[in-house]
Amino acid sequence: MPSSDLRSTLLLVFLTGQSIGAIAAAQDRAYRITDIAPDTPAQNQGGLVYPSFFQPVTAGDVFLAPAGTGLPSIWRTDGTPDGTRPVVAGAAIGSGALIGSNGQRAFFAGSNPSGGTTALWATDGTPGGTVLLKAGLGAPHDPGFEPATAVLEGRLFFHDCAPRPSTACDLWTSDGTVEGTRKLVELGHGATRLTGSAGVVYFLASARDDVRLALWKTDGTPGGTISLRAFSNTGLTNDVASVGGRAVVVAEGKLWASNGSAVDPDRKRHV
């Protein structure tokens, strides 16, 4: 029987041979789909890295990349040369980013430099399925309390914030359709720490008439968006998690739990 050193050497040779074979096989299977941006300067020469911001849609992915001159366009690909093409030009949607997807539609937030506002778009990867959901969205102005944007339970949650000096923001949601895009609640600051499970989304935010952070929940409707409990400024209020429709939040130096129902504020260790 070979010594342990010899067995180790033989194993290394075997694995190296296997790795070389796997790399060669992968190279045989890999192929270029399309040359999106020919003659683009290298990154260290001022060029940008494309494609970027991949998000899934039905039967493919969308991403940002140049399509001629001007702002990056939204492209779609199914992984084949024939199935890779521009969807909508950057000039039509502004400068921005693909910010999430619910699996069928991806969401794009584009800025309007002349008006200082943001527009929210959704796309299913086709020109006809690319729609403007909400225009004129104001940007948040409090860098110490940045509102969150997230796709949870199949819906995008985003904000429309008042002009300076106000820090007020409205929380909105969208399922990727115009009719499914609506305002949920007016907040003193934007929502943060968005988390969801079992059809319920939890977040931290302050009300317009109360500067304290509170635990909120929403089912994606205005009537189902409620504040569960406001916390004092004692200790830290900095995180929320959700499992099985329940929320766990760190606040006032304690760990709290909620089943989504508002309760007696004097009840200890639970909301």
Q: Is the pLDDT of residue 245 over 50?
A: yes
> How are strands ordered across the β-sheet holding 60-65?
52-57, 60-65, 73-77, 85-88
Q: Is the pLDDT of residue 87 over 80?
A: yes
Q: Do 202 and 153 form a contact (C-beta atoms < 8 A)?
A: no
pTM of the model: 0.80
Mean pLDDT of 52-60: 94
The span from the CA of 20 to the CA of 260, in Å, is: 54
Structure confidence by residue, pLDDT tens digits, 6-47: 444 433 444 444 555 554 555 567 777 887 766 666 656 666
Q: How far is CA 69 from the centre of its chain?
A: 27
Q: Do 64 and 74 form a contact (C-beta atoms < 8 A)?
A: yes
Q: Do 50 and 64 form a contact (C-beta atoms < 8 A)?
A: yes
Q: Is the pLDDT of residue 131 over 90?
A: yes
Q: Is the pLDDT of residue 52 over 80?
A: yes
Mean model confidence pLDDT for the chain: 81
pLDDT of residue 189: 81
Mean pLDDT of 147-158: 88
pLDDT of residue 252: 85
pLDDT of residue 100: 94
Q: Do 187 and 208 form a contact (C-beta atoms < 8 A)?
A: yes
Q: Is the pLDDT of residue 120 over 60?
A: yes
List the Cα angle 53/57/62 in 5-degree steps. 35
* Between 213 and 105, residue with greater pLDDT: 105
Range with lowest mean pLDDT among 12-16, 85-89, 112-116: 12-16
Structure confidence by residue, pLDDT tens digits, 186-240: 999 889 899 999 899 999 999 998 888 899 999 999 999 999 999 887 666 678 9
Q: In which band, very low, low, confident or very high, does the pLDDT at 267 lie, cut at 50, 70 and 90?
A: very low
pLDDT of residue 271: 46
% residues pLDDT > 70 (the chain):
74
The span from the CA of 144 to the CA of 261, in Å, is: 30
User: Per the structure block, which two tokens stand in for 228?
Assistant: 């569960």
Strands 73-77 and 60-65: antiparallel
Q: In which band, very low, low, confident or very high, does the pLDDT at 166 lie, cut at 50, 70 and 90?
A: confident
Mean pLDDT of 77-99: 92
